[in-house]
Chain A
């Protein structure tokens, strides 16, 4: 008998919520086709989602630009900051544990003549605030630090850093893709100039990202007719649901995560949790397995019908030592021996228990 599959990779992507799907199906249905063709209708849909997102992050002003993905939003924002301010300086700071969709833009800018400096990250997985402040020089024009790290779940001190940068009028970009629906996000405290979100991480559709910009008078131009208003409406529904139940969701996920952590540590196979847990993402936890390579474990879990993730999978699907784990100072051999579990709203206690049993079986043969 084949057991039900268990999905524990919600930080990668989530299934679409049925209520979100219903909104989208209605939008796509031919009944509404003519109505949907008016730019007023489209603008209305976009505005609804935009205001839901702004409410969710406590933004009183600013604008939201919808994109095809979080990756595209990161590209837009980072490039725009750099190009706009290039007369003022050429120094860009970025944490070494950012998502590739951020880091790769900085690498590209480096080849265009910008100076890119990586902010050091402690072994606990958090950027060192004082060092970061010291690296901010007169010709620094942009700093990018994520809210939650996507591999180890650590919370970055974006409020403190944002305050510091705001006083010095330096652009601050925050990739908050993992944070929406998982934490209270308060832009009045973070003081970010731009922030990025993605619908498919919060039970919304794929192919829909959002860029919040504090500046109304931004340089981003997106033609409304090219946007998929059904996706944006779906994103809006997903934001509505995730905000309405935010505290319940966080509590539920944190409880599941503790069950997972306690259960895996109890196996007594030398497993350890990577990254500080205080204030961490409620549903992401990365474990080090002292004797097993992450890629082998992911495959063994796959044999058992459990979908998890390890390190950074490249375009081929092969798993390499994660740049995040290397950036927090882990030796490559150890970095290769880590697996990320990320839980979601559909996760159950039974699933957690089955994961723990399966892990024990794999490790103890």
Chain B
């Protein structure tokens, strides 16, 4: 399609997307605001309403409509319920079924925001989709590729959830907030707009489970059998009874429902045997992991060992490591053991300011 100036901005009615749309308008783009209507659990209607911060509530549509009017851009609400259900919610359920801990934001970025919304944008004659993510997308001559760089606002950087984007997608994506030095700077720009203060929730909770009771969510929305099973120790000895594996994630200490006389942590979840293995804090640290479904931004494929840093979850610190290609998989060996390497979560690689790529953790290993 012909490159043009028209851009569709995903608008939640919150601070970040409002400022993104405003900046693009200032830069001379032909901006169209769109609120994505996403699937939500009917039972959580009230929680969605109270939260307001999630991107799914009805009042967020009105907030988005109002700020678009203030910015002076057209606004439309679009239905993405079906695609969100199949690519994000169903994946979330499947992941728990496998004893993993999913990261639905990554799936949403990959399939909904930068695939379905981008396709819709093209139908509206727009070359670009833009969001209020804190990340910098550029075409970088030295790599001959579109790259993602970490946000200048270090504490807000959201590149972790963007490692899955392809060159074809990146070509059509704008993220104008990447150049802001801090969230405060963004708030200053946002101050001129009529944004509800209740929309300030910046947390990384799952937007379609606003009450955070994801076990209740799984009970209502899947046929997942949540069965009691055994807590075992490292040597297989039975330590007690667990309430169903979906209640646990690697590294968890609180809420095990059993006391052991010393702090015990979840170190492994075996869905096939319905067993949760507990160990001491030191057992939660592992020095190696294997990831699949990898995607690289800086190059097409990992062909040889590669030194970089990696994060094993959104909130983790980058840690030095070496990547080794193993067929479709990547083995990551950290210089120092990492806490709570969790199957289902993303491992994301960085080199200096660049997002190198990432993959889905299938298992952690080492330190035995």
A: residues with CB less than 8 A from B are 292-293, 295-296, 299-300, 302-303, 314-320, 332
* A66–B61 CA distance with the chains assembled, in angstroms: 34
Chain B binding surface, main DSSP class: mixed
Q: Are B124 and A316 in contact (CB under 8 A)?
A: no
Given contacts A302-B74, A314-B37, A315-B58, contact A320 B120 (CB under 8 A): no
Residues of B within 8 A of A292 (CB): 123
Residues of A within 8 A of B37 (CB): 314, 316, 318
Q: Are A319 and B78 in contact (CB under 8 A)?
A: yes
Interface readout for B37-78 with A: 1 if CB under 8 Å, 0 if not? Answer: 100000000000000000000100100000000000010111
From B58, B79, B125, contact of A319 by CB (8 A): B79
* A267–B74 CA distance with the chains assembled, in angstroms: 29
Can you list 11 A-B contacts (CB < 8 A)? A293-B120, A295-B78, A296-B123, A299-B76, A302-B74, A314-B79, A316-B35, A316-B37, A317-B61, A318-B35, A320-B81
Smallest Cβ distance from A316 to chain B, in angstroms?
A: 4
B: residues with CB less than 8 A from A are 32, 35, 37, 58, 61, 74, 76-79, 81-82, 120, 123-125
Per CB-CB distance, the 4 closest pairs between chain A and chain B, nearest first, are: A296-B123, A318-B77, A318-B37, A318-B79
Q: Are A300 and B77 in contact (CB under 8 A)?
A: no
Residues of B within 8 A of A302 (CB): 74, 76
Known: A299-B32, A299-B76, A318-B37. 4 other contacts (CB 8 A): A295-B79, A316-B61, A317-B76, A317-B77
Smallest Cβ distance from A291 to chain B, in angstroms?
A: 9
Residues of A within 8 A of B124 (CB): 296, 299-300
Residues of A within 8 A of B79 (CB): 295, 314, 318-320
Q: Are B74 and A300 in contact (CB under 8 A)?
A: no
Smallest Cβ distance from A158 to chain B, in angstroms?
A: 32
* A302–B123 CA distance with the chains assembled, in angstroms: 13
* A296–B79 CA distance with the chains assembled, in angstroms: 11
Smallest Cβ distance from A333 to chain B, in angstroms?
A: 10
A-B residue pair count with CB separations less than 8 angstroms:
42
Smallest Cβ distance from A107 to chain B, in angstroms?
A: 12
Residue in B closest to A317 when the chains form the complex, CB atoms: B77
Smallest Cβ distance from B81 to chain A, in angstroms?
A: 7
* A292–B37 CA distance with the chains assembled, in angstroms: 19
Residue in A closest to B32 when the chains form the complex, CB atoms: A299
Residues of B within 8 A of A315 (CB): 58
Residue in A closest to B2 when the chains form the complex, CB atoms: A365
Q: Are A293 and B123 in contact (CB under 8 A)?
A: yes
Residues of A within 8 A of B32 (CB): 299
* A184–B77 CA distance with the chains assembled, in angstroms: 38
* A302–B77 CA distance with the chains assembled, in angstroms: 13
Residue in B closest to A319 when the chains form the complex, CB atoms: B79
Residues of A within 8 A of B77 (CB): 316-318
Q: Are B78 and A318 in contact (CB under 8 A)?
A: yes
Smallest Cβ distance from A317 to chain B, in angstroms?
A: 4
Among B77, B78, B79, B124, which residue has the most Cβ atoms of chain A within 10 A? B79
Q: Are B61 and A332 in contact (CB under 8 A)?
A: no
* A332–B85 CA distance with the chains assembled, in angstroms: 15
Q: Are B120 and A296 in contact (CB under 8 A)?
A: yes
Smallest Cβ distance from B341 to chain A, in angstroms?
A: 40
* A292–B122 CA distance with the chains assembled, in angstroms: 11
Smallest Cβ distance from B289 to chain A, in angstroms?
A: 39
* A66–B78 CA distance with the chains assembled, in angstroms: 36
Residues of B within 8 A of A296 (CB): 120, 123-124
Residue in A closest to B61 when the chains form the complex, CB atoms: A316
Q: Are A300 and B125 in contact (CB under 8 A)?
A: yes
Smallest Cβ distance from B104 to chain A, in angstroms?
A: 21
Smallest Cβ distance from B127 to chain A, in angstroms?
A: 13
Residues of A within 8 A of B61 (CB): 316-318
Given contacts A295-B78, A299-B76, A302-B74, contact A316 B120 (CB under 8 A): no
Residues of B within 8 A of A299 (CB): 32, 76, 124
Residues of A within 8 A of B120 (CB): 293, 295-296
Smallest Cβ distance from B64 to chain A, in angstroms?
A: 10
Smallest Cβ distance from A338 to chain B, in angstroms?
A: 14
Residue in A closest to B62 when the chains form the complex, CB atoms: A316
Residues of A within 8 A of B123 (CB): 292-293, 296, 300
Residues of B within 8 A of A303 (CB): 74
* A265–B29 CA distance with the chains assembled, in angstroms: 35
Residues of B within 8 A of A300 (CB): 123-125
Residue in B closest to A300 when the chains form the complex, CB atoms: B124
Residue in B closest to A291 when the chains form the complex, CB atoms: B123
* A300–B123 CA distance with the chains assembled, in angstroms: 9
Smallest Cβ distance from A314 to chain B, in angstroms?
A: 7
* A296–B34 CA distance with the chains assembled, in angstroms: 11
Smallest Cβ distance from A337 to chain B, in angstroms?
A: 11
* A314–B35 CA distance with the chains assembled, in angstroms: 13
Smallest Cβ distance from B175 to chain A, in angstroms?
A: 23
Residue in B closest to A293 when the chains form the complex, CB atoms: B123
Residue in B closest to A297 when the chains form the complex, CB atoms: B123
* A316–B81 CA distance with the chains assembled, in angstroms: 13
Residues of A within 8 A of B78 (CB): 295, 318-319
Q: Are A332 and B76 in contact (CB under 8 A)?
A: no
Given contacts A316-B35, A317-B76, contact A332 B82 (CB under 8 A): yes
Residues of A within 8 A of B58 (CB): 315-316
* A14–B234 CA distance with the chains assembled, in angstroms: 73
Among B32, B74, B82, B123, which residue has the most Cβ atoms of chain A within 10 A? B123
* A152–B92 CA distance with the chains assembled, in angstroms: 38
Residue in A closest to B76 when the chains form the complex, CB atoms: A299
Smallest Cβ distance from B72 to chain A, in angstroms?
A: 15
Residue in B closest to A320 when the chains form the complex, CB atoms: B79
* A319–B80 CA distance with the chains assembled, in angstroms: 10
Among B35, B120, B124, which residue has the most Cβ atoms of chain A within 10 A? B124
* A318–B40 CA distance with the chains assembled, in angstroms: 15
Smallest Cβ distance from A95 to chain B, in angstroms?
A: 24
Residue in B closest to A315 when the chains form the complex, CB atoms: B58
* A293–B123 CA distance with the chains assembled, in angstroms: 8
* A131–B61 CA distance with the chains assembled, in angstroms: 42
* A332–B82 CA distance with the chains assembled, in angstroms: 10
Residue in A closest to B6 when the chains form the complex, CB atoms: A303
